[in-house]
Structure 1
Amino acid sequence: MTADKLSPGMQQYLDIKQHYPDAFLLFRMGDFYELFYDDAVNAAQILEISLTSRNKNAENPIPMAGVPYHSAQQYIDVLVESGYKVAIAEQMEDPKEAKGVVKREVVQVITPGTVVDSSKPDSENNFLAALDRADGLYGLAYMDLVTGEFQVTSLSDFALVCGEIRNLRAREVVLGYELPEAEEQVLAGQMNLLLSQVDQALEDVQLLGDGLSKTEHQAAGKLLEYVHRTQMRELSHLKKAHHYEIRDFLQMDYASKASLDLTENARTGKKHGSLYWLMDETKTAMGGRLLRAWIQQPLIDRKRIVRRQNIVQDFLDHFFERSDLTESLKGVYDIERLASRVSFGKTNPKDLLQLAATLGNVPQIKAILQGMDSPHLAGLVEQMDEIPELAGLIDAAISPDAPHVITEGNIIQTGFDERLDKYRVIMRDGTGWIADMESKEREASGISNLKIEYNKKDGYYFHVTNSQLARVPSHFFRKATLKNSERFGTEELARIEGEMLEAREKSANLEYEIFMRIREEAGKYIQRLQSLATALATVDVLQSFAAVAEQQHLVRPDFTEERELRIEKGRHAVVEKVMGAQSYIPNSIVLDAATDIQLITGPNMSGKSTYMRQLAIIVIMAQMGSYVPAESASLPIFDAIFTRIGAADDLVSGQSTFMVEMMEANRAIRQASQHSLILFDELGRGTATYDGMALAQAIIEYIHDRTGAKTLFATHYHELTDLEHSLNRLENVHVATLEKDGQVTFLHKIEPGPADKSYGIHVAKIAGMPEDLLERADSILTMLEGQDRQSPAASPNPPTPAVRPQVSEQISLFAEEPENPVLEDLRQLDLYNMTPLEVLTAVAEMKKKL
């Protein structure tokens, strides 16, 4: 449509929309947020709302859809969860006082990475990441707009960048450089991230400070620019950008964390069945978030780990005090989020009451910690800032029954403000004054049914029916005439009405002003509240560690300077909790200074993967500062964990299971050090037998000779067990089985030495395969085992295995009697047309085949 055909309101919409082309524009019109044109068409489909049109009779009616303003948040949540941006255009003036079109402006842009009023559980962070590049390095900054957390690091290659973004579970990335097509395909195509371009950095000395590299400074500055551009307000709760190195924590890539079910069950996507589920005995939302962070980033600093262990021990030694502590923590609200609401100007009276309730619990929490009289707790005790002046202000000012809304009064306590109290006396007593006046005038006039009534048009008035008009006193003046009655006023009634209406209006305005002053005052304490929140969350997580240690019978691990690992009767605590302690069979794990690799053989379903995961979970729990599921544990401090457990096809990026497997293995052998832990499960199964076996052996030899990492390598290639003779730091272990009368029982117990057979057919039997199929498989297995097969693992550098016919070429799986292929060769010989030498050569070839 041309501009001259548009109404002023629609022109205003288009003028605003051109500045936000990549966002759904919610345009406030009265009690609705309206969307127009393509926004309306697309939103109607996504939100499942009605699509109508503006100017229906026009040649080109404008598509239109709308949502009520009071319930708009649920629709905004759906759009943002679907990966879109939403721009909110509000009316900036009262429509009754506006001259012409009501002035409207965008007051906030909500994106997947900047959601504040989140529908996510309180224990989850919502990180917004920013990426820049300079001098051959990537600068990565990320922020949680709700908690104010602000972190920055440098990374050397794009794979590390992707891994860190995956670990953060970020949904949006701010780009500060021109992204190559290949990188865009990974971020937008494969990782499904919303990408937003920002070219200018916001220089903020207070938030950026010193200590950041040039690349980090650019990434952090562009992140700040994007946040201020979308939120359009000062954000006083943002913390100073903190530089970190990924090597400061136990390194695990996204695939490893997923395969170990750290924060969610990889199969279900739920919390249940994860390490987080096991460890979460926290009582606060802040503690839940911190626990997630500690699981994602275990420590490698021995002093920090031991400091946490000491506090856990203190909590275990003081059962009754810990019980009182957990009760006190139940009264602690999410003051990190409350502080952000103050900064965003979204605080309501209920928020301030929750803040005061939390501050009211701090003295008790502090006293409990002091009563435990432990030097390990001294630092946390010092951080327990009671902020009595803020707590006292809120308690004195805000009514315990205050509503959520801040414009309708009944927020401020009586006795807090003298003017407000005066207004309330007038409003309360004014009703009595009017009742007294009504009684007095009824008696003086003799009008038995004289009443004082009220409506918005006429205010307070005396209602007199026509039959009583002769008795109306002279000081009454007429206000309105109706068919059967008239309305009268008096100077005294007008005075009381004026005082009451003024008190009502001024009271609501005054309460709003007082509340805003209190909110502004609360804003001065944001940094102290954030520091207190960190201390409370830390106490919560460490008491949770103690509670879990008590419930699950965990022990305190020791850390050794030697490259030696000893776990007595270790358990996979998550599996044990799901199965029940009576059903779980513990296993000891010993990798002494002379042993780097355990080669694990044994049947499927026997517990090899659980044994491997058990070690990883114990290491992670130990380096978090938690106790571990074992009778005793002595561990080195690992710098990284690499796993290749249960790879699957990555169809989006066009990679097969085997390719994913090889990529994960490649990351491990290239990045691992002698202080790392590697867990490889059934490596090499995704290709032909000899290919897989050769790759598996070469990888084992490479780790043994070059990497030196502690490694568990589970395999079905029994031929690889011969490596024990040539690799002096490798030992064989196997999963024990009990075989009796043709029935096999898996004992789930790891014992020294190699397994004697695979028991694959027994597993197929457990799975319910048809009996005749199992019998046929058994006969085929017997025949194959009778063939002389050379192991490629017989020596460190085995000869290339001879090419053999595939089993499918040797026999038909459903034939009654398989025929030897040499018989067919014999039938094909044309003896009468062959020389004696040719016959001799043919027979020699047949003998060779046999």
Structure 2
Amino acid sequence: MTKSPKITPMLQQYLELKEQHKDAILFYRMGDFYEMFFEDAEIASKALGITLTSRNNKGDANKVPMCGVPFHALGTYLGKMVKAGHRVAICEQVQDPKEAKGIVQREVVRIVSPGVTTDDQLLDEKTNCYICSLTCCKKYGKGILLGLSFLDASTGIFLLTEFLDALEVYGELVDIITRFQPAELLISETTAQDYPDVISTLQTVLPGLCLTTRADHIYDLEQARTTLTEHFQTANLGGFGCDQLSCGIRSAGALLAYIQDTQKASLNHIQTLRTINKDDHLIIDEASRRNLELTETLIGGVRSGTLLDVLDCTTTPMGARLLKERIISPLNDETRITRRLDAVEELCSNPQARKQIRDLLAKVYDLERLCSRLVLGQGNARDIAALKTSFQQLPSLAQVLDDFTTVLFADISQHLDPLKELCTLIEVSIRDDAPPSLREGKLICEGYHERLDHLIHLLRDGKQLILDLEGKERQKTGIAKLKVGFNKVFGYYFEVSRAQASLVPEDYIRKQTLVNAERFITPELKELENEISSAQEERLDLEYRLFTEIRDRIAAESNRILQTAHQIARIDFLTSLAEASAKYRYCKPTLNFTNEIQIQEGRHPVIERSLDSGRFVANDVFLDQECNQLLIITGPNMAGKSTVLRQTALIVLMAHLGCFVPADSASICLTDRIFTRVGAMDDLRRGQSTFMVEMNETANILNNATENSLVILDEIGRGTSTYDGLAIAWAVAEELVNKNDIGIKTLFATHYHELTDLAISNTRVQNYSIAVKEWNDKILFLHKLVKGATNRSYGIQVAALAGVPGHVIQRAHAILASIEQGEFDHHGKPHQTVKDASGKHQPCQLQLFTSQTDALRDLLKENKPDELSPRQALNLVYELHALMKK
């Protein structure tokens, strides 16, 4: 019979704490290590790649699996655990071991999870780390009311929304979730049970999403409302514009309660709750964000090669995060867009001031995350020193901004708090060379605290103080040979020779008699000795206490710090747009209200960066609601059709972002949504074929696009048979032109040349093509968009350029010639085999279109039934029968 391991008081304490945090790996502080036991140790040893040992090695029955990591390397190991998808409960000693009677008291001081962390090693400084809370409230026919909230614990950003979404599709849910890319999803136990398809959908589009379930009661409406109003100290939520969003409130209240429970500290850095209002922004759905490669590439999912990568000239983490957020959610308000454009123009026209701003911002640290760490009680002296360095740049920054005149910069200047008193506090209190640990001392500047100065003086000059006392006593007693000595038994003492012992004062206390000398102590000597011997410990305790007081004073001003951080992010964002615009020769776009998109010499902002200067071929694009509503663009693969489509969408997006655009000139109408159907790719995560992906995205466009939208379509219908694909493409094009009798501005690239006939019957459809030059059966891509259609795709020539073997190319030419010559009967069977270049007979493939020469049809055309005699009609039947046998 196997015996259970012996449970010591320490293990008993561990098990009690573990019982309270069953869903987390418990990092249990023991001296200089965090230890893990039992199953936690087995999991952690694998995740961290550390040795699994055991406690109590006297017998197998008493072995307890264990492993540990040094406390000073917590950040590194914590990062590995969280990236592996684990939640970690940090358990610290909250009692001085000297004061403990029995086991030292310990408590879990915080819980770290993929979506809730403030550690630098776990965070990407240019990306927000969100945790999302989702609640499903009510069903309405084929839809469901959803509440969503997002919180970045490292910056204090807190958002919520609610909306009605279609059951089983969850299109808007996916769009919003993928926009914020949360690392963790919080959901109630009931929702998890009742809506497994919701969770499945989200885990499909966000692989690695950490799922956390919570008790239903924290999603109760009144409890959630109380949690929010108590935190923000308001009577209601009307000031946040969400008082009537009951489903959103459930979600946000549950999320805030979760953060309070896991961080076990003040959350003063969460100072407001913003409602997500999609009407204020140009909407870009998940498929369009992916197709346009706004923040990550289609292949590889990396940042390099995206619009964000090109425009990111930011110098602060706050500015980088704001840029990413605004690229994903551009504006849809003429006044706000114009103000941004004017501010960017002012920066572009003043390169010297722009350089000054960038140089100052380069010395500013991540104020948002530094402030969050201080509020949560996790900041160290280096964090505060980074705040000081950042604050020191503010007066100069404000001075440079005073010279700017645009509305946006006036608003920024008004709200840019220089934080002078906080900067002064840090300058006089925190040492520049302070260590990261708070228990090693050397945190506080001399001159800040009188008692600390005295302790530092004792530690630094203790020996000299003893010698000074020796001199003082010689002078007072008149004993010229009085000297200070030290041993381990008495500590410091005064030694006097036998001959001068009679001169010793009465307050001297004899401690030892030697052959030739006497040794004495005095109260003053013992007091000084005690002060020196205890000075180090007292200094460490005092410095820690003073530091936490200073940290709390700074954290109490978190509202001001975060407000300043936001203004710096705005400055950095605008400066980044101006820097990119000046560097890459972008122009200021104008906004129009005539529903036109007019781009002169437009360029793709990403592709042109990968080419040598001057190699990119610019193109004009004009769209309106009158005569140029749907442009059908034909031309061979690799000629640049997709580039023209994408660059048009990106230029429209950049204009709504408030950025200059890659063109000689551009006039852009306000656009409510950008839709793209570009490229063909299976979505294996969702079990969808290429064609299904095409049709899902096409359906979304047809159902949701308005006359104020821009639609980009590339190769609709190519995922199915030729005739089906052509039919679908034709019907989609007609719908886009005729929808609501107004139509939608659309760029439609296709290889179905039959679609060009639409321009004959509809004056709002125009044909364009990408020009190529033919020479010796080869083609040269000119990459120029020209008026008029083309009737060739040059597929075989493109295949040759791609390196397809020569004999395959020759065979393709032979088959194409057979198709064009109509060497097939009305059943699609070859009249004769076709010889390849070697003279061998090869079977002909079926023709794609009806042959122009068909003997059966010709014979029927030559005879008119009403004019045939019975004899002639019988002869005709025989002739037809003979043709059938051929």
Shared fold (TM-score greater than 0.5)?
yes
Note the alpha carbon deviations across 1:90-125, whole angstroms, 9 max, x for none. Answer: 222233432233322221111111011042331110
Paired AA for residue 191 in structure 1 = L
Deviations 1:692-721 (A, max 9, x none): 111111111111111622111111111221
1:635 maps to a residue whose letter is I
> What corresponds to 2:867 in structure 1?
none
Classify the secondary structure of the residue corresponding to 1:98.
coil
Change (3 A) 1:362 1:696: same
**Equivalent residues of 1:139, 1:215 under 8 A apart:** yes
Residue in 1 aligned with 2:421? 389
Is it true that 1:627 corresponds to 2:651 in the alignment?
Answer: no
Supply the distance in 1 between the matched residues of 2:518 and 2:28 (Cα, whole angstroms): 44
Task: State the alpha-carbon separation in 2 of the partners of residues 845 and 698 from structure 1.
Answer: 39
The equivalent of 2:125 in structure 1 is 122
Deviation at 1:351, TM superposition (A): 1.9
* TM-aligned CA distance change 1:581 to 1:23, over 3 Å: same
| Structure-1-length-normalised TM-score | 0.89
Query: Which of 594, 614, 619 in structure 2 is aligned with 1:587?
Result: 619
| Aligned equivalent of 2:228 | 204
Q: 1:50 offset after TM fit, Å?
A: 0.9
Give identity over the alignment, percent: 36
Instruction: Check conservation: 2:318, 2:366, Cα contact below 8 A.
Output: yes
Q: Of residues 151, 176, 180 in structure 2, which corresponds to 1:143?
A: 151
| Shift of residue 284, structure 1, vs aligned partner | 1.1
Structure 1 residue 228 displacement after superposition: 0.9
1:264 aligns to 2:279 (yes or no)? no
Aligned AA (2:673): A
Among 97, 103, 112, the alignment partner of 1:110 is: 112
Matches within 5 A, 1:34-73: 34-56=35-57, 57-59=59-61, 61-73=63-75
Q: Say whether residues 1:696 and 2:709 are aligned partners.
A: no
What corresponds to 2:820 in structure 1? 785
Q: Is the 8 A contact 2:404 2:410 kept in 1?
A: no
Q: Is contact 1:555–1:629 with CA below 8 Å preserved after alignment?
A: yes
1:167 aligned partner: 179
Give the alignment's TM-score, normalised by structure 2: 0.85
Q: CA deviation at 1:27?
A: 1.8
TM-superposed CA distance for 1:816, in Å, is 2.5
SS in 1 for 2:671: coil
What is the DSSP-based 3-state SS (H/G/I as helix, E as strand, rest coil) of the residue aligned with 2:161?
Answer: strand
Cα distance in 1 for partners of 2:463, 2:344 equals 62
- Range moving further from structure 2, 344-353 or 553-562: 344-353
For 2:46, give the aligned amino acid.
Q
Q: Hey, what does 2:809 align to over in structure 1?
A: 774
Instruction: Give the count of matched residue pairs.
Output: 816
> CA deviation digits over 1:254-276, x for unaligned, max 9?
22212212122332333221111
What is the one-letter code of the residue matched to 2:672? Answer: D
Query: d(CA) in 2 for partners of 1:664 and 1:846?
Result: 51
Q: Which residue of 2 aligns with 1:403?
A: 435
**In 1, Cα distance between equivalents of 2:835 and 2:37:** 67
Tell whether 2:164 aligns with 1:156: yes
Displacement after TM superposition at 1:34 (Å)? 1.9
Q: Distance in 1 between matches of 2:51 and 2:183?
A: 29
The alignment status of 1:543 with 2:575, answered yes or no, reads yes
Per-residue CA deviation, residues 154-202 of structure 1 (Å, 9 max, x unaligned), is 1211321122111111121111452312222223355332222232144
Equivalent residue in structure 1 for 2:206, among 185, 191, 194: 191
Mapped partners of 1:808, 1:146: distance in 2:
74
Deviation for aligned residue 1:452: 5.2
Is this contact kept in 2: 1:810–1:821, CA < 8 A? no
Match of 2:253 among 199, 221, 244: 221
Deviations 1:79-100 (A, max 9, x none): 1112221112222223343223
Partners of 2:815 and 2:845 within 8 A in 1: no
User: Comparing 355-364 with 530-539, which one deviates more in the overlay?
Assistant: 355-364
Instruction: Report the CA distance between 1:278 and its aligned residue.
Output: 1.0
- Structure 2 gaps of 5+ residues are 139-143, 847-854, 856-871
Report the equivalent of 1:558.
590
Question: What corresponds to 1:844 in structure 2?
Answer: 880
Instruction: Rate the CA distance shift 1:15–1:517 in 2: closer, same or farther, 3 A.
Output: closer
Residue in 1 that maps onto 2:849: none
Match of 1:250?
A: 282
> What amino acid is the match of 1:178?
T
Q: Is residue 655 of structure 1 aligned with residue 688 of structure 2? A: yes
Deviation by residue 1:399-434 (Cα, 9 ceiling, x = unmatched): 333333333332222222233333333334322123
Deviation at 1:557, TM superposition (A): 0.6
The 1:583/1:477 distance shift into structure 2, 3 A limit, reads farther
Residues 1:131 and 2:134 are matched in the alignment: yes
Q: 1:191 to 1:320 in 2, by over 3 A?
A: closer
1:60 Cα deviation from its structure 2 partner: 6.2
Q: How far off is 1:42 after superposition?
A: 2.0
Matched with 2:357 is 325
Alignment partner of 1:178 is 2:209? no
Among 747, 751, 765, the residue aligned to 2:800: 765
Structure 1 residues 137-146 or 376-385, which shifts more?
A: 376-385
Once residues 70 and 357 of structure 1 are traced to their aligned partners in structure 2, the CA distance between those partners, rounded to angstroms, is: 25
- Find the aligned partners of 1:70 and 1:28 in 2 and give their Cα distance: 11
Structure 1 contact 549–555 (Cα < 8 Å) conserved: yes
> Which AA in structure 2 matches 1:507?
R
Secondary structure of the 1:88 match is strand
Check the 8 A contact 2:833/2:841 in 1, yes or no. Answer: no
Picking from 414, 423, 431, the partner of 2:446 is: 414
What is the rounded CA distance, in whole Å, between the counterparts of 1:23 and 1:251 in structure 2? 38
| In 1: Cα distance, 2:118 partner to 2:135 partner | 25
Measured after TM superposition, the shift of residue 385 of structure 1 is: 0.9
Which amino acid letter does the alignment assign opposite residue 106 of structure 1?
A: V
Moved more, 813-822 or 211-220: 813-822
- What is the match of residue 368 of structure 1? 400
Amino acid at match of 2:574: L
Query: Does 1:739 pair with 2:774?
Result: yes
557, 563, 567: which one aligns with 1:525: 557
Mean alpha-carbon deviation: is it higher for 329-338 or for 631-640? 329-338
SS at match of 1:588: strand
Aligned pairs for 1:272-291 (under 5 A) are 272-291=304-323
Distance of 1:154 and 1:494 partners within structure 2: 72
Distance verdict in 2 for CA 1:460–1:37, change over 3 Å: same
Letter paired with 2:841: E
Quote the residue 1:600 is aligned against.
633
Relative to structure 1, the CA distance from residue 487 to residue 124 in structure 2 (aligned partners, 3 Å threshold; closer, same or farther) is: farther
Indicate conservation of the 8 Å contact 2:25/2:89, yes or no.
yes
SS of 2:606 mapped into structure 1: helix
Mapped pair 1:668 → 2:701: yes
